[in-house]
Structures are given as C-alpha cells and as structure tokens.
A and B are shown apart, each in its own frame.
Chain A
Amino acid sequence: MSYALLIDLTGCVGCGECQRACQRSHGFPEVEAKNLNDKNFTCLDQHGDVFVRRMCQHCEQPACASVCPVGALEKTKAGAVNYSADKCIGCRYCMLACPYDIPKYEWASNNPRVRKCTMCYDERTSKGQPTACSEACPVGATLFGKRDELLAEAHKRIGENPDKYVHRIYGEKEAGGASVLYLTSVPFEKLGFKTTLGNEALPEKTWNVLSKLPDVVATAGVLFSAVYWITHRRDEVRAFEQKMNGKSNVN
C-alpha cells in the first residue's frame, strides 16, 4: 500500500499553490521561493512555458536512506522517505548521495536537521490522507494515490493521447523507480530532469562491494594466517638447523 504523487506537467499552470500549501502545513513563512532550502520543500522551475515541480522523489530504493549510517532516513510502507532527527548524527552523507540533490541542511542551527519533503508522512500519508500539495492543486496537476494505480493512470493518459505525451513516465524506473511520477509533453532532458541515471538503483553500486566484504575478510584472514605460519616456520627450521650444526661442530 505504497502511496505516490503523479505530476502531469501538461496540466500545471505554475500558480504556486502547492508551494504555499507545503509551507503552510510545515509552519514555514509563505514566500515565493525559486529554490529548495531548509524552509521550503518544493518549488517550480520554469522551462519555457512548462513548470516543473521539484521535490523529494521518494525513491523506491533511496540513496539517502542506504547511506545513512544510523538509519535516520527510511523508506516507509506508505511510500514516503521519512527522516528521524532524533537518530541523525549530522554527517550529511545523504546530501551528497541524493541523485536529485534534495536534502537541505539547517546550516544556521546549532542542533541542525536535514530538511526535505516528508510527503506529509506524520500528519497525513501515514494515515492514508493525501499530501497538502496535492489537495491544494487547483487544476489536479499533482495527484495523490496508490503508486500502482497512479502508474496505471499515467499509462492510460499516454495511451489515450500518444501524440501529446512523451512516452515515458519519469520515476517509473529511473534509478530503481520513485514515488513521485512525472508526465510531460516536452522531452524530460529539456526540462532539467536527469536522464543519465539508468534504471539500476544507486544503492546497488555500493551493495555490490559491501556484500562481498565478509568473503574478503574470511579469505584475507586465512591468507595472512598462512603467511604468518610459513614465514615463522622458516625461522624455526633455521634455528633448529643452527642448533644441530652447532652440536655437530662441538662433537
């Protein structure tokens, strides 16, 4: 029962209601912000006459959650990638690892938190209620629902208007897929979307190495023990031979 958002860029008129609703629901000052920061979790990038909503993609296999040494970030069953400030040690590896550069930091604070869209996890989506932004969208460009149902809806839209839409749902497969899905009529690469990520989830690249380490340790451990045994056995043999030689000399 994983929730997701479907953002149809062909419907977005760039009114900014999503941003204001987001700021309201998190208690941030309502300002028109062009960038994400610790007090603004979504923004609209304008490319020609297309507005692209930027926000946490809530990846299916999030890089941020995989790199967090203490598990402060986790992919919840509801679909949201949620952050627990009480676990965080502040290493900021999540900020480096995120392929979409979403997590922001409270640089001015002495007890800083990582800040990003929570998909309204605590207040809404954990209880099955839609996000503030999707409720606020006056034109239905941001839809809230179950991920599989939204994917079906997106495929249906492409099928019904094959000439209008680019035949790709961004977030369906990119970097292992995400819980924020985009439809567009303008090619994604022209809208600032990363199209070079591939479909392999990023944590796989790390896990490929990490999962082999137990074998490396076992093999190297035996190897070094063997080297130790051989090199020191040589000493023993040499000492023994010297002793024998010494005796024979005396005799």
Chain B
Amino acid sequence: MITRLIGKLTFWKALGIVFILGGLVSGAARFIFGLGATTHLSDSTPWGVWIGFDVVTGVGLAAGGFTLCGIVYIFNIKRFKPIVRPTVLTAFLGYLLVVVGLMFDLGRPWAIWHAIVMWNPHSVMFEVAWCVMLYTTVLALEFSPVLLERFHLTKALKVVKAITIPLVIAGILLSMLHQSSLGSLYLIVPEKMHPFWYSPMLPVFFFVSALAVGMGMTIVESYLSARAFNKTLETPLLKDLSRMMVGVASVYVMMRFLDMLHGNKFALVGWNMESGMLALEMALFFAIPLVVHNVRFGQTRLGMFLGAMSVVLGFVTNRLNVAMTSLERYYGNVYFPSIGELFVTAAVVSAGFWIFSLAVKHLPIFVDAHEEKDMVRLTPVMRPVVEEPRTAASAQA
C-alpha cells in the first residue's frame, strides 16, 4: 500500500506536500508566537513577502480571468472560449488564495470584516478591499456554471447565464479598478521609493502590465495543463495570445521608457542594485519574450511557454521591485523573508495548483459540453475523438 502510494508520488507532488505541511506548521507558529517571532517584518519593513508577493503579485497573476472574459464575451473573439473556464478557475482560486495569504499578514485578521462596515473612501486599501471582495464574488458567479452543470441545477444555471454579460462587464471594471489601485497604494510614498519605480503613472503601469501577464499566465497554464491532464489549446490560439502578450508588454515598456526619460531617471542608471533589478525586470518582461516570439523556436509550444513564463517572471520581479527593492535604500536595511514566510507563500501557491488539479479531475473544466460543436476547439492531444471527454463527463453524472 505504502509503496504504491510512494510510487504514485511525482517530484512536484512531493514538493507540494512538503510546502503545504511546512506552510501549515509555519502558519500555526505565526498565530502562536506572533508576527515578530516568526517573520522578518519590522518597523522598517512593515510589508514583506506576504504583501509583496501573495497580495500585490498574486492579484496580478490572476488577471487572466478578466482579460480573457473581455476578449471572449465583450470583443466576441469566440475561438478563445475553450480556455475561459480554466482561466476563470485560476483567477477565482488566485483571489481566494490572496485572501488566505492576507490573513497571515494582517495583525488582526479576525477584524478583516471591519472593512465592510468602517468606511474610509480616501484609502486606496479600502478601495482595493472592496474591489477584491466584489470581484471574487463575480468570479464565483462566473465559475458557478461549472458546478451547476455538474449537479444539473438547470434553473440556477439559466439565471447565471442570463446575467453573464453584466457580470463580465462588472468583472472588467472591478479589475481595472483594483489592478491599477495596487499601484496607487504606493503613490503616497514619493520620497521613500526609488525613482525607477515611483511614478504618478503607477496605477496605469500596474493595469497594463496586469493585462500582459494575464495572457502570459493563460499560456503557461495551458502548457502545464497539457502536460498534466493531456488537455490543451490548439497551437494557433496560443500563438494569438502570445502575440497579444508581447504587444501589450511592448506598450508597457514604452510607457516605462517615457517615464524614465521625462523624469530624467536615466541619470540614475549605473552599477547599483536598483539598476540591476530594473534590467532584470525589463529583460524578463519584454526583451526575452520579444526575441523568443520572433524566432522559429518561439512558434513551438515549448517556445511559447518559455516566452510566457519569462513575462510572468518579469512581472513578479516588477511587483517585488516596487514592493521591496525600491524601498530598501530608504529604509537602509535589506529585507529577506524568513523560512516561515517563504513556507506559507509556497504553501499558498501549492494549494492553488492542488485545488486546480482536483477541479480538473472532477468538474467539466476543459470541456464545454453545452457549447456548439464549432466552439469546442479543445482537442485533447493524442486523442483524436473530441466527444470522448463529454461522454466521460455524462457517464460520471
């Protein structure tokens, strides 16, 4: 029995289990011994990796949901429909996990409901809190057809389908608001942040880069799903997404370039940590994907995956630069997260992968059984029969 279990254990699964167990222990320690004893947060680093990665980056990585819903439902580019469900699921899980991560970081997480009743409309954090609450609800509703179909709740399904378009528009608006507002969070510290990252344009930068990473995450996810579940998109779809991603990333980098130019920030470029981190960010987010996209290798599945992965890593670097690198010179101390902080973060990410794979196994995520045949572009690799997953799903039901 045990050997059979071990036999089933892949490297990634084992790593996930280690992360989740470590995260549980570290998370428990944080609530027993307090933030001071278990994290490297301090009066000069009030926000660490839990805000910088789990929240500020995490929300951005879940941007695929509103981007793709907009492409399919509003711009009516139907060929992307097969990936709406997995993308919405990723976004939904992403937002739930952001809230989970936040619960570890907040000093008084049990008081989080205060944001609902004690209003301060002048606070960006207040606005972000409300948008995240509302958008998570929207995502739950956008995802609900999957569950409603699975359990044959036809009436509820009809209601949800009837309000799809208003939901999608609300989702886009809420996302525009809070994706940009995560950048606005930092508008209030003009002289603390390094000029490379401080700009009155921060909200716009955050929104545009979120669009690009939304597409990048969708490509990455699709590639990984292909490997893990044998389910994926047709290559032309990925190519289109990849092209859009590189296009948006280019617009973003041009805006950053103009910001550097008009703010005379190029004078600060030199042999220092900030310049290095800026270069890394730009290489990963823009230069590498651009090159990959324009060579033959970039037209292969692996090439598109690596290009998109580069955008994702560049995005993560950017958010961590804004949240941490840009402030290090001011506070004069270098923050590096504690083991506990890292474990909780890794556990949150692992939990996301785990729940996603569970959902794919038990719910019709990759098959849109009720869509017209021509929309089902989802052709499982190595399996010529499109209908097969459908019959499997109905047999299960």
Give A contacts to B, CB under 8 Å. Answer: 37, 63, 66-72, 87-93, 95-97, 99, 101, 104-105, 107-112, 194, 196-197, 202-203, 205-210, 213, 216-217, 220-221, 224-225, 227-228, 231-232, 234-235
Q: Judging by beta carbons under 8 Å apart, are A206 and B126 in contact?
A: no
Query: Cα distance A99–B192 when bound, in Å?
Result: 8
Residues of chain B from 182 to 235 with CB closer than 8 A to chain A in the complex: 184-185, 187-192, 200, 203
Query: Cα distance A196–B192 when bound, in Å?
Result: 11
Q: Judging by beta carbons under 8 Å apart, are A91 and B44 in contact?
A: no
B120 interface residue (CB < 8 Å to A): yes
Contact residue among A69, A104, A108 (Cβ-Cβ distance under 8 Å from B34)? A108
Q: Judging by beta carbons under 8 Å apart, are A107 and B35 in contact?
A: yes
Least CB distance, B205 to chain A, in whole angstroms: 12
B276 interface residue (CB < 8 Å to A): no
Query: Cα distance A97–B190 when bound, in Å?
Result: 10
Query: Cα distance A236–B348 when bound, in Å?
Result: 45
Question: Please, which residue of chain A has its CB at the minimum distance from the CB of B128?
Answer: A69
Query: Cα distance A197–B190 when bound, in Å?
Result: 9
Residues of chain B from 145 to 184 with CB closer than 8 A to chain A in the complex: 165, 169, 172-173, 176-177, 184
Known contacts A89-B115, A93-B125, A205-B200, A197 near B191 by CB under 8 Å: yes
Q: Judging by beta carbons under 8 Å apart, are A220 and B173 in contact?
A: yes
Least CB distance, B346 to chain A, in whole angstroms: 23
Binds A, one of B105-113, B135-143, B242-250: B105-113
Known contacts A93-B185, A95-B46, A217-B173, A107 near B120 by CB under 8 Å: no
Contact residue among A68, A196, A220 (Cβ-Cβ distance under 8 Å from B191)? A196
In the bound complex, residues from chain B placing their C-beta under 8 Å from that of A196 are 191
Query: Cα distance A68–B185 when bound, in Å?
Result: 11
Q: Judging by beta carbons under 8 Å apart, are A112 and B108 in contact?
A: yes
Q: Judging by beta carbons under 8 Å apart, are A90 and B106 in contact?
A: yes
Least CB distance, B175 to chain A, in whole angstroms: 10
10 A-B pairs with least C-beta separation: A90-B107, A107-B36, A231-B76, A95-B46, A69-B125, A69-B126, A90-B108, A92-B46, A70-B118, A71-B120
Contacts A93-B125, A107-B43, A213-B177 supplied; 4 other A-B pairs, CB < 8 Å: A68-B125, A87-B114, A112-B35, A112-B108
Residues of chain B from 15 to 48 with CB closer than 8 A to chain A in the complex: 31-32, 34-37, 41-44, 46-47
Query: Cα distance A38–B144 when bound, in Å?
Result: 47
B259 interface residue (CB < 8 Å to A): no
Query: Cα distance A207–B165 when bound, in Å?
Result: 31
Known contacts A89-B115, A112-B107, A228-B73, A69 near B129 by CB under 8 Å: yes
B70 interface residue (CB < 8 Å to A): yes
Query: Cα distance A217–B176 when bound, in Å?
Result: 9
In the bound complex, residues from chain A placing their C-beta under 8 Å from that of B176 are 216-217, 220
Q: How many residues of B contact A (CB 8 A)?
A: 53
B253 interface residue (CB < 8 Å to A): no
**Residue contacts A-B, CB under 8 angstroms, 17 given:** A69-B126, A70-B115, A71-B120, A89-B106, A89-B115, A90-B108, A91-B106, A95-B46, A97-B189, A99-B189, A108-B37, A111-B108, A112-B107, A202-B188, A205-B190, A209-B187, A216-B177
Contact flags (1/0) for B368-397 with A, using CB distance below 8 Å? 000000000000000000000000000000
Contact residue among B34, B177, B188, B191 (Cβ-Cβ distance under 8 Å from A217)? B177
In the bound complex, residues from chain A placing their C-beta under 8 Å from that of B165 are 228
Contact residue among B74, B105, B123, B203 (Cβ-Cβ distance under 8 Å from A68)? B123
B75 interface residue (CB < 8 Å to A): yes
Least CB distance, A137 to chain B, in whole angstroms: 26
Q: Judging by beta carbons under 8 Å apart, are B184 and A209 in contact?
A: yes
Query: Cα distance A104–B45 when bound, in Å?
Result: 11
In the bound complex, residues from chain A placing their C-beta under 8 Å from that of B37 are 108
Q: Give the one of A69, A217, A220 with max B CB within 10 A.
A: A69
Query: Cα distance A67–B169 when bound, in Å?
Result: 28
In the bound complex, residues from chain B placing their C-beta under 8 Å from that of A231 are 74-76
B341 interface residue (CB < 8 Å to A): no
B12 interface residue (CB < 8 Å to A): no
Known contacts A107-B41, A206-B187, A217-B177, A91 near B118 by CB under 8 Å: no
Query: Cα distance A204–B388 when bound, in Å?
Result: 59
Query: Cα distance A72–B34 when bound, in Å?
Result: 21
In the bound complex, residues from chain A placing their C-beta under 8 Å from that of B42 are 107
Query: Cα distance A105–B45 when bound, in Å?
Result: 11
In the bound complex, residues from chain A placing their C-beta under 8 Å from that of B34 are 107-110, 112
Query: Cα distance A106–B134 when bound, in Å?
Result: 32
In the bound complex, residues from chain B placing their C-beta under 8 Å from that of A213 are 127, 177
Least CB distance, B255 to chain A, in whole angstroms: 16
Contact residue among A63, A107, A202, A224 (Cβ-Cβ distance under 8 Å from B74)? A224
Query: Cα distance A104–B192 when bound, in Å?
Result: 17
In the bound complex, residues from chain B placing their C-beta under 8 Å from that of A88 are 107-108, 111
Contact residue among B43, B172, B188 (Cβ-Cβ distance under 8 Å from A97)? B188
Query: Cα distance A67–B185 when bound, in Å?
Result: 8
Query: Cα distance A72–B165 when bound, in Å?
Result: 38
Q: Judging by beta carbons under 8 Å apart, are A206 and B173 in contact?
A: no
Q: Give the one of A68, A89, A202, A207 with max B CB within 10 A.
A: A89
B122 interface residue (CB < 8 Å to A): yes
